[in-house]
Structure 1
Amino acid sequence: MARAWHLKSRPSGMPTDENFELKDIDLPQLGDGMVRVRNRWLSVDPYMRGRMNDVKSYVPPFQIGEPLEGGAVGEVVESKADGLAPGDLVLHMSGWRDEAVVPARGVNKLPDLGVEPQKFLGVLGVTGATAFFGLLDVASAKPGDIVFVSAAAGAVGSVVVQLAKAKGMTAVGSAGGADKCDFVRSLGADQVVDYRAGPVLKSLAAAAPDGIDVYFDNVGGDHLDAAFALARNNARFAMCGMIAGYNDPNPASFRFIMRIVAARIRLKGFIVFDFQSRMDEFYREMGQLVASGAVKAQETVVEGLENTPDAFLGLFQGANTGKMLVKL
């Protein structure tokens, strides 16, 4: 019998174990154009918190009593679809469970890039593509730019730091605590801000005394305000996420937001799926960077379907370095 995690109730603030329930599920009969997939790896990501609220967004909210969804890599064990055979490894969105029956149009066969399959949930998946397109396209980052990256020890941020260095930029990353700051330095960051050691603005001013050209925002809150304060003229902000406010009913206010006008700051929000038609370009360039060692994948792996909610909650408690994954 297949099993899946369900949303038992909607969280108020930080989710707890009480919001989740692991239950047996019946899989539908395999029809034409369908595949049955046994999952090997599951992704948990901060955006999933927003889907637990009953609000309109760029993806529909999770429904109470229904299985949760998320990125997964699995092995095809049965197929009635052309081009997919048992043994093929595929990427799909029926995560938070051990098995799924899905339409072939909802899966992507993993390209042969000579890497471990879980990399397609991280550096060669949505995570890496978010960093790649956010930095180079949305923020129009170029060689010589000073780039500030919040949550630089996290999944997306750690890739942004490495991309910035590979493309000839100065990288300043923020992280919480000495160990994570050391990790960000090991990625090649020129300067690191420890947001637990004191006010972000003061630390960023010391790390980037000439200001910043690009801010890649994964946090919001005081990090975003510090970026406003230190932005150089015509700075570009790639607004990827604001994890500081996901569980906070009273988002932070911004002292320095008026600098958007004076410094002609360009802020642009983006969703990685905006770039779906350009994934071949991403695989080609990022695949080369990974193969050369210019970009390395860092993963935090939690074992077992039973521990998926713990892995998810760990994202909001600083439990991950790099990409958080669940191995089945």
Structure 2
Amino acid sequence: MPRFFLSRIGQLVLVLVGLTILLFILTRLLPTDPAVLLAGDQATAAQVAMLREQLGLNDPILQQYLRFITDLLSGDFGVSVVTGQSVAGEIAYRFPATLELSVAALLLSILVGVPSGILAAGSRDGVLDYVIRFFSIAGLAVASFWLAVLLQLVFSMGLDWLPLRGRSTVGYPVAPHVTGLFVIDYTLAGDLEGLKQTFKHLALPAITLAFPAAATIMRFMRSSMIETLNASYVSWERAVGYRERRILWRYAARNALSATVTQLGLLFGLLLSGSVIVEAIFGWPGIGDYLYNSIIAGDFAPVVVTTLLIAICYSVINLLVDALNYVLDPRLSGV
């Protein structure tokens, strides 16, 4: 078991080192000069040259990279050119919003995708199977930005059931900061109305993110279930008289979940990174919205740090998924 995890951690470290090199090179290849952005439009050439010297942009490239890594490891992520605030502080404030949205979307996609995949496999080539497969294809084909706008038009502007944008209701007191996750903070405060408002604001962006994720889970769960239902032990269970429903939900589903668990880890990483456009459309104050605005403004520091944070989350989640699969599947114990 230690050997299994050491190999995974070694791969994680190599991936992150490679990503830092790639991001460092890309920031140096971009035509925009960081010194010009920091100095402002009114700065003279002499002021820009002085700022370049202060920032160390004239140093040898290897020295710049080592300083870049040292700053990252020490938690010095720089200052945002747009807001003038510490990048570390901005991300610490915004990350809980993205985490809450991603977790809500993942839970919603699991609640829809896993049972749908089981039902589709249980009625293979039947009417229900074709209906579920249609929705799974639609979930993968529909663009998230189009779905987001459609949901806003119907449920916010048309029916006025749910908020159009934002994470909290204007004028309603924000929950005392404990975790930064409104669902938890309002629950700890015993504020049921605040919890209700939080779920209303979460609904549309979470559904937008969950739709393609649920479609992916449906497809993998259906495929894994069909393979499991063709196994010899299932034929034995049918031969001894077990009910089909019991076989489907109690035995086959449990064994089929192993392959789907791996996809859940990948999906959560994709939800974190794929929330950029969704957060921008819904005005959700997370790292996706922060990344989007930083890219538009050419603000390099937030782009680099946010990308690395998403990569770290993605890698750690996949490490946890590997650990879960190690526990669920005894065959991995020999790795």
Please, what TM-score do these two structures have when normalized by structure 1? 0.23
The structure in which a higher percent of residues are strand is 1
Work out which of the two has the higher radius of gyration on C-alpha atoms and give 1 or 2: 2
- Relative CO higher for 1 or 2, CA cutoff 8 Å, sep ≥ 6? 2
Please, what TM-score do these two structures have when normalized by structure 2? 0.23
